[in-house]
């Protein structure tokens, strides 16, 4: 389980539960360790007390008036022939007496355990008794799963002469202490269960209290928006850290509102500048062909021409078309609106595209149509704007040293209208491929760089698309696709 993925509330809850469990484990471990230490001290002290008492009893027997035997090693079995059973019964321990060579003299073989006395002491035991200052040795071992201690001490006569070795086998019986330990652990287990339940309840309430304020701050932050007025957080009776966080958020809201006001002002100013550039660009587009049309009319005007009336009518339609476009732009700008609103109408795309090309008198502009009539819904003025912008862009891309050629093709593909404009210009460089439709981007020394951006916007407004394929120094083909309906 990844703790980083857990919520703060869950982590606080788990941390408190973990601390309670850790405390219970540590206290239980200390209790068990203390029991073992206490048990060892208890058995060690009890054996020493038994040993002292038996030594005292043995000295009384050796020094008693009823003892008719000389106190020496050989007479030990005779002296304690009956008395050793009394001593063992009184002190509830088995008693074994050995001579100084380690040979068994006499054993009580009575008591609480069925311990069989060894017939002869090992050299290790004898050396340990002899070489220690207190002349005492305790051997601790396990037998049949039970722990035994055997103490070996020297018995002296009235003249402090060593006469025998006393061996006391002692069983470490922990039944009572184990029962006490189990009872203690059971009680402490109930206590810790109660504490654990209390800790769960407290951890739940505490984590909920701590994270409640954080949840409020989180919700406020998620609801924070630049374009609307944001409310400040008002939380009472919180910790110093939470208060610092709340104050930081409220300060941020104040700064955000100030930034939003400045941004709105900047956006309005930028919108005005962009609109002014767009209007200037759109008005400039028809002015150039209008000027060329008028100049061409002046140059070719012949009053005696029998077709003068039809030519005059053609020139007039072209000028009126461009003037209508300029008028539409001027009206939109004067009403503080965006560019002329989209007004879809059912029209013949082939005819409109051909009409848009009439302002260009260059012989290298070739128009092709898949059929005479392709009906679609499109804004008449905006379709003319798309065609004139793309053709003009193609003309401007052709170097002066090259014979120009522009091919416009109108066709259909299923439910879509397809218009392609191909030029043999300089093409688009690799580094400019991704910038071609960006506003203000241009590779020409003049112009605002809004033409292709505006074309893309018009086409996408009509749920269409515009793409291009370009080859450096060979030309570019723009493809416009939009639905008929």
Decide if 95 contacts 87 (C-beta within 8 A).
yes
- List all residues 6 or more positions away from 59 whose beta carbon is below 8 Å from its beta carbon: none
Q: Is-same-fold flag (70-173; 342-483)?
A: no
**Which residue, 172, 55, 153, 166, is CA-closest to 113?**
172
Question: Which CATH number is correct for 70-173, 3.40.190.10, 1.10.760.10, 3.20.20.80, 3.30.450.20?
Answer: 3.30.450.20
Instruction: Tell me the backbone φ, ψ of residue 164, rounded to 5 degrees.
Output: -165, 170
pLDDT of 40? 78
Q: pLDDT tens for the chain, 485 residues: list them.
A: 555 666 667 777 788 788 888 888 888 888 788 877 877 777 788 888 888 898 888 888 888 766 677 888 888 888 888 888 888 888 888 888 898 888 888 888 744 344 445 678 888 888 888 887 778 888 887 777 677 888 898 888 888 888 888 888 888 776 666 777 778 778 888 888 888 888 788 877 777 776 676 677 777 777 766 556 666 766 665 666 667 777 777 787 777 777 777 776 776 667 667 667 766 766 777 777 777 777 777 777 777 777 777 877 877 887 787 777 777 666 655 543 445 556 788 999 999 999 888 888 788 999 999 999 999 999 888 899 899 989 988 888 888 888 899 999 999 998 999 999 999 988 888 888 877 877 655 555 444 445 787 888 888 888 899 999 998 888 999 999 999 88
Structure confidence at residue 247 (pLDDT): 75
Q: How many residues are listed for the chain in this entry?
A: 485
Beta-carbon-side half-sphere exposure of residue 412 (alpha carbons within 13 Å): 15
pLDDT reported for residue 335: 45
Domain range list for the chain: 1-63+174-223, 70-173, 342-483
The long-range contacts involving 469-474, CB below 8 angstroms and separated by at least 24 positions, are 470/427, 470/428, 470/433, 471/427, 472/426, 472/427, 472/428, 472/429, 472/430, 473/426, 473/427, 474/424, 474/427
Tell me the torsion sign for CA atoms 341, 346, 347, 353: positive
State the pLDDT at residue 241.
62
* CA–CA distance, 402 with 327 (Å, rounded to integer): 36
- pLDDT of the residue at 4: 62
The CA-atom distances, in angstroms, between 350 and each of 180, 221, 451, 477 are: 106, 55, 22, 19
Q: Determine how many CB atoms are found less than 10 A away from the CB of residue 472.
A: 11
Cross-strand partners of 468: 478
- Say if CB 94 and CB 111 are below 8 A apart: yes
**342-483: what fold?**
Heat Shock Protein 90 (3.30.565)
277-289 per-position pLDDT tens digit: 766 766 777 777 7
In this structure, the number of other CB atoms found within 10 A of the CB of residue 203 comes to 19
């Amino acid at each position: 389980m990844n703790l980083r993925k857990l919520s703060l509330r869950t982590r606080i809850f788990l941390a408190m539960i973990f601390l309670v469990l850790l405390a219970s484990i540590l206290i239980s471990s200390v209790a068990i360790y203390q029991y073992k230490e206490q048990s060892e001290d208890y058995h060690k002290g009890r054996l020493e007390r038994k040993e002292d008492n038996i030594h005292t009893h043995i000295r009384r027997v050796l020094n008693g008036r009823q003892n008719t035997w000389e106190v020496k090693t050989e007479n030990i079995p005779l002296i304690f022939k009956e008395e050793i059973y009394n001593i063992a019964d009184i002190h509830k321990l088995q008693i074994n007496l050995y001579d100084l060579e380690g040979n068994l003299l006499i054993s009580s073989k009575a008591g609480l355990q069925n311990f069989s006395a060894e017939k002869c002491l090992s050299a290790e035991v004898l050396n340990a008794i002899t070489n220690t200052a207190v002349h005492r040795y305790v051997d601790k071992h396990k037998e049949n799963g039970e722990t035994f201690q055997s103490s070996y001490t020297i018995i002296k006569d009235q003249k402090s002469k060593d006469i025998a070795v006393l061996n006391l086998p002692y069983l470490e019986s922990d039944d009572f202490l184990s029962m006490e330990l189990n009872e203690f652990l059971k009680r402490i287990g109930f206590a810790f269960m109660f504490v654990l339940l209390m800790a769960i309840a407290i951890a739940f309430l505490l984590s909920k209290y701590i994270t409640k304020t954080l949840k409020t701050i989180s919700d406020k932050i998620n609801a924070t928006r630049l374009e609307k007025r944001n409310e400040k957080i008002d939380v009472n009776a919180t910790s110093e850290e939470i208060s610092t966080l709340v104050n930081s958020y409220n300060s941020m809201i104040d700064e955000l509102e100030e930034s939003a006001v400045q941004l709105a002002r900047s956006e309005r100013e930028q919108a005005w500048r962009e609109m002014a550039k767009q209007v200037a660009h759109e008005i400039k587009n028809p002015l150039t062909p209008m000027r060329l049309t008028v100049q061409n009319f002046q140059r070719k005007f012949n009053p005696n021409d029998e077709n003068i009336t039809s030519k005059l009518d053609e020139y007039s339609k072209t000028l009126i078309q461009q003037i209508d476009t300029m008028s539409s732009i001027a009206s939109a700008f004067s009403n503080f609106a965006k560019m002329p609103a989209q007004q879809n109408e059912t029209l013949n795309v082939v005819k409109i595209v051909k009409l848009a090309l009439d302002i260009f008198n260059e012989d290298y502009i070739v128009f092709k149509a898949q059929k005479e009539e392709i009906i679609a819904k499109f804004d008449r003025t905006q379709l003319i704007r798309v065609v004139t912008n793309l053709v003009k862009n193609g003309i401007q891309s052709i170097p002066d040293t090259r014979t120009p050629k522009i091919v416009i093709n109108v066709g259909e593909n299923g439910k879509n209208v397809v218009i392609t404009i191909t030029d043999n210009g300089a093409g688009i460089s690799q580094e400019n491929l991704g910038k071609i439709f960006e506003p203000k981007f241009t590779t020409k020394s003049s112009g605002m760089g809004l033409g292709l951006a505006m074309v893309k916007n018009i086409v996408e407004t009509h749920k269409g698309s515009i793409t291009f394929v370009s080859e450096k120094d060979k030309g570019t083909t723009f493809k416009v696709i939009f639905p008929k309906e």
